[in-house]
Amino acid sequence: MNKTKFLILGILVVLISGCTMAPKYERPENAAPGEWPKGAAYTKNQPEDTALPASSLSWQSFITDVRLQKILETALANNRDLRITALNVERAGAMYGINRASLLPSVNVAGSWYKGADLSSSGTSATAERYDISLGAASWEIDFFGRIRSLKDKALEEYLATQQGLQASQILLVSSVAQAYLTLAADREALKLVSKTLATQEASYQLIQKHFHVGLISDLDIQRAKSQVDMARGGVARYTHLVAQDENALNLLVGSPVKMELLPQDLSDVRPPRDISPGLSSEPLFNRPDILAAEHRLRAANANIGAARAAIFPRISLTTSVGTASTELSGLFKSGSGVWAFAPQIVAPIFDPRIWYAYDVTKIEKEMAVAQYEKTVQTAFREVADALAVKGTIDDQINAQQALVEDYSATYRLSVKRYEKGIDSYLAVLDAQRSQYAAELALIMLRLARSNNLITLYRTLGGNTVGKDNVSSRPDSMNPLPNVQVDKQEKFN
């Protein structure tokens, strides 16, 4: 009969403990338009047959340069920031395990031996001795109102948010390394340009010196030529240190020195990333890891409300044990030595204002999480829109700049001829040289901006979940609790 009662009580506990007082979760309405912006800056952003959506591309498919791919593989394995993020995922998984285990009783085995002198009713002392061995659970809270279950759901959502944070960190690392690599290539190309300019200026200066010595030109022209040489020398020094800093930045991102044979010589030495299409709808934006992480944090705040609500109601806990006791060690396991204890306890809050304030805090925290989620969505939309504005106009800027370079080159050649024939002064030649140099340098930066913007667009669109390509190499750190995904499906279905 006692076994039947305990069985019924156990079933009742399991059924009731499945309840939760958390409010039903509803995703906030879209805080961003359903389509990408339209206008003069976006006319060339229509989907093309050769352009693929970012969500269907892994970074290995998006980054086409083989040397850069090798660098990225090293960075994903060695970057310290990414390693810290992965450890944060492990820690969040362990915290979820702690909260999940709180639903179960903690069973302990205990043994004791007591021996002491007691005063009997006759006034004489007698030595008492007792041996005990027991197995039981102490203060197991039965989750009638879902307080522990809500805390477990909160920990799960926080864990899933850190997983999405890891995905976002991986995508950010890929884009940062790729952009640092391209910046190094652009600065090396600029260094070649300024070094070539310096050589040209020095040759012109030597020629002008000869003309000056024979009295063909004034000392003003030779001073102007010398100033151009000095400016070019300063440019060489500037881009030399920029290239060194670019290499240092790349080494820091990668986590180890990059081999020289993997470094680019200039921008033309780097295969550009694949072209991607944003599509027509902005719905895929909601698959961005940072937006998914913000939604998981919102779910966690929602679950925390359930825990605060449940704290208002009574808590029921059980302490139970079974074992054996005897006055002699040899009699512990003899017939008739069994003992048991069953001690339920209920604690009901009567007056504790802190509980109600805590409930208000959880509701406010949820409103803050809603606002943060909406801000994350709006920020993501703005980032993509900015990248699309660049993508829609950058080719026109490059074409115009290329034409400008050709114009200044022609102007420089004509100025040199006119100077050699004595028609113009050397000042016209200097102006043409400065204009040509500035135009060529601007063209390099525009070509860099085009490649960097593709990488930015890939990142802001969410890209592909980089974890699919890299998490498998470290399953212990990326998914410390394999059955978490099962709980996630049960919870969301």
Cα–Cα distance measured from residue 56 to residue 374, given in angstroms and rounded to the nearest whole number: 25
- Main-chain phi, psi angles of 318, to 5 degrees: -120, 140
What confidence tier does 2 reach under pLDDT thresholds 50, 70, 90? low
Task: Report the side by side order of strands in the sheet with 315-326.
Answer: 107-119, 125-142, 315-326, 338-347
CB 134 within 8 Å of CB 110: yes
CA geometry: angle 30, 34, 38, nearest 5 deg: 135
3-state secondary structure of 351: coil
The least confident of 82-96, 132-146, 229-243, 444-458 is 132-146
Q: Name the burial class of residue 124, with classes exposed (0-12), middle (13-18) and buried (19+) by CB atoms within 10 angstroms of its CB.
A: exposed
Cα–Cα distance measured from residue 135 to residue 109, given in angstroms and rounded to the nearest whole number: 4
What confidence tier does 331 reach under pLDDT thresholds 50, 70, 90? low
**Structure-block tokens of residue 269:** 């030495």
CA end-to-end span of the chain: 39
Q: Name residues whose C-beta falls within 8 Å of residue 65's C-beta, 6 or more positions apart in sequence.
A: 270, 271
SS (H, E, C) 79-121: CHHHHHHHHHHHHHHHHHHHHHHCCCCCEEEEEEEEEEEEECC
Q: For position 87, what pLDDT does the model report?
A: 87
pLDDT at 297 over 90: yes
Q: For position 3, what pLDDT does the model report?
A: 53
CB 362 within 8 Å of CB 22: no
The least confident of 108-117, 286-295, 453-462 is 108-117
Q: With b meaning 16 or more CB within 10 Å and e meaning fewer, what string describes 104-122?
A: ebeeeeeeeeeeeeeeeee
Axis-axis angle for helices 80-101, 66-78 (nearest 10): 50
The least confident of 99-108, 181-190, 412-421 is 99-108
- Write out pLDDT tens, residues 340-363: 777 788 888 888 888 888 889 999
Ranges assigned E (strand) in 224-297: 276-277
- Residue with tokens 């950058």, as numbered in its chain: 394
No. of helices (H) and no. of strands (E), the chain: 12, 6
Helices (H), 257-352: 289-310
CATH classification number, 2-103+128-492, choose in 3.10.290.10, 1.20.1090.10, 3.30.230.70, 1.20.1600.10: 1.20.1600.10
Axis-axis angle for helices 353-420, 426-460 (nearest 10): 150
Q: What is the pTM of this model?
A: 0.79
Short-list 60, 452, 78, CA closest to 257 = 78
Short-list 492, 491, 493, 483, CA closest to 101 = 483
Axis-axis angle for helices 219-254, 147-213 (nearest 10): 160
Give the range with max mean pLDDT: 49-53, 411-415, 467-471.
Answer: 411-415
pLDDT at 286 over 80: yes
- Write out pLDDT tens, residues 207-241: 777 766 766 666 777 777 788 888 888 889 999 99
CB 168 within 8 Å of CB 293: yes
The neighbour count for residue 146, using CB atoms within 10 Å, is: 23
Cα–Cα distance measured from residue 143 to residue 19, given in angstroms and rounded to the nearest whole number: 8
**Structure-block tokens of residue 395:** 């080719």
- Write out pLDDT tens, residues 151-203: 888 899 999 999 998 988 999 899 999 999 999 999 999 999 999 888 887 87
